[in-house]
């Protein structure tokens, strides 16, 4: 690649980078690079919450994602192992109240195809960015294939963002250090449209449909329980899944481990550089909001670059988008990381059925923690 100039350059063509580029392309010439060649997989819970589905609708591609086999998600069912589960619909909202199960291998490749079809986007797979240079008139990306100068750079290089680190903006990972082990299963029965969360002994199992006969099962736990996977990740994963979901089906792949999580950034926009998606901070997969929140940040970036002060406009919007989800996720991690707290919280949410919809609404960014009444806190923390 020769030296390229564009108004917007995006690093990373995961869902957030791709959506950022697609929004920015209505009005700007965009260059986007990813070190990977697609299709490529990425360990994820693969549940796209309603605000993320609304972003796809806004781009005019939601129908195509559904037609390609992404099943509808109606809400969350949760409980303790061996006890009845309680189901809670996603709260009603003008943007819709249903999510989608998106198998990342297919979803990310689908978005990349859309990049390739867009005349305002130049997409370069297999190009790694090693550094951001800030010494010229405009920021520049140093890549394995030459240098790219752009007026605005959106950094969407994921959880462990090497570029955020190089800029000195990384905070974390902060404790408690949590990990996930993820795999896919084939089940020829009709899968139901719920993400099922089951807690047991400091571990949670997430089970959701991601294709007509395909489900994802992710196990989440802290470092302590992660030790039992040492040297036998796949075998232990399958043993635990057999306990959580005896009728999971047939394993489709080898389990993959990922973590720790909980990174933040000291700033999300400065000097023409904007962090979007996981690169801008990610607390934990427990709330399943990463894709939806990140994709909304992509839209916010494309709007901020048309404002007189793009960086402060983006920082404000980013704060508004992430405050609710971050608080809800932090609270859920606190409750989940002790079996006693988890037990009390699940009992409390089952006794006070209004609490879980409120927490879900916080996770979706619809409202803040002020919605939780003293009675709700009591139920969550004491189980009564
Ligand atoms: C176990 C687990 C379960 C989760 N469950 C859910 C869920 O159910 N729902 C949900 O919404 N979210 C979930 N998340 C979070 C979700 O996976 C992330 O929020 C999402 O992937 C963020 O997308 P992204 O585009 O920011 O980053 P990524 O998807 O990580 O994409 C980053 C891209 O950048 C590229 N890249 C990295 N470095 C460079 C470089 N130097 N040069 C060029 N390219 C580079 C990578 O190749 C990659 O394609 C989960 C996460 C985990 C770990």
How do the domains of the chain map onto residue ranges? 4-46+103-173+262-323, 178-258, 338-382
What CATH class does 178-258 carry?
A: alpha beta
Are the beta carbons of 329 and 284 closer than 8 angstroms? yes
- CA–centroid distance, residue 192 to ligand 1 (Å): 26
Ligand 1 centroid from CA 95, angstroms: 24
Report the mean per-residue pLDDT for the chain: 96
Of 296, 291, 363, 370, the C-alpha closest to 330 is 363
Retrieve residue 241's tokens. Answer: 């899944």
pTM above 0.95, yes or no: yes
Which residues, including other chains, have CB under 8 Å from residue 30's CB and lie 6 or more apart? 6, 7, 8, 9, 10, 21, 24, 120, 121, 122
d(CA 289, CA 297): 12
Nearest CA to ligand 1 atom 26: 277
The predicted structure's pLDDT at residue 137: 86
Q: Whose CA is nearest to atom 38 of ligand 1?
A: 157
pLDDT in tens, 46-61: 999 999 999 999 999 9
How does pLDDT run across 244-263, given as a tens digit for each residue?
A: 999 999 999 999 999 999 99
Spacing, Cα 383 to ligand 1 middle (Å): 34
| Predicted local distance difference test score (pLDDT) of residue 4 | 52
Query: What values do phi and psi take at 248, rounded to 5?
Result: -65, -30
CATH number at 4-46+103-173+262-323: 3.50.50.60
Ligand 1 pocket list (CB less than 6 A): 11-17, 33-36, 42-48, 128-129, 156-159, 162, 180, 182, 218, 258, 277-279, 282, 285, 288-292, 294
């Amino acid at each position: 690649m020769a030296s390229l100039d564009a108004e917007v350059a995006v690093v990373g063509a995961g869902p957030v980078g791709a959506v950022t580029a697609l929004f920015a392309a209505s009005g700007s010439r965009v260059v986007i690079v990813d070190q990977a060649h697609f299709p490529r997989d990425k360990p994820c819970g693969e549940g796209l919450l309603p605000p993320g589905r609304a972003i796809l609708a806004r781009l005019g591609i939601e129908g195509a994602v559904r037609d390609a086999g992404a099943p509808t998600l109606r809400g969350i069912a949760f409980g303790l192992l061996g006890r009845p589960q309680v189901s809670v619909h996603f709260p009603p909202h003008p943007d819709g109240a249903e999510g989608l199960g998106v198998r990342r291998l297919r979803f990310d490749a689908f978005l990349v195809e859309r990049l390739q079809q867009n005349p305002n986007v130049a997409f370069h797979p297999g190009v790694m960015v090693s550094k951001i240079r800030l010494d010229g008139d405009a920021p520049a990306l140093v890549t394995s294939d030459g240098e790219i100068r752009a007026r605005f750079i959106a950094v969407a290089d994921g959880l462990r963002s090497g570029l955020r680190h190089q800029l000195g903006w990384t905070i974390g990972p902060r404790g408690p250090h949590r990990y996930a082990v993820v795999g896919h299963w084939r089940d020829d029965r009709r899968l139901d449209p719920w993400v099922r969360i089951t807690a047991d002994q400091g571990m949670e199992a997430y089970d959701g449909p991601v294709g007509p006969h395909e489900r994802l099962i992710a196990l989440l736990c802290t470092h302590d329980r992660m030790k039992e996977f040492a040297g036998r990740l796949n075998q232990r994963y399958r043993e635990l899944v057999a306990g959580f979901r005896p009728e999971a089906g047939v394993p489709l792949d080898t389990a993959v481990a990922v973590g720790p999580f909980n990174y933040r950034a000291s700033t999300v926009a400065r000097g023409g550089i904007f962090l979007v998606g996981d690169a801008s901070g990610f607390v934990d997969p427990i709330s399943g909001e990463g894709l939806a929140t990140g994709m909304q940040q992509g839209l916010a970036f494309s709007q901020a670059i048309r404002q007189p002060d793009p960086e402060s406009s983006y920082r404000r919007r980013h704060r508004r988008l992430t405050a609710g989800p971050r608080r809800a996720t932090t609270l859920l991690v606190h409750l989940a990381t002790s079996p006693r707290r988890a037990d009390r919280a699940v009992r409390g949410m089952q006794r006070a059925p209004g609490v879980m919809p409120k927490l879900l609404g916080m996770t979706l960014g619809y409202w803040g923690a002020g919605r939780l009444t003293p009675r709700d806190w009591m139920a969550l923390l004491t189980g009564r």
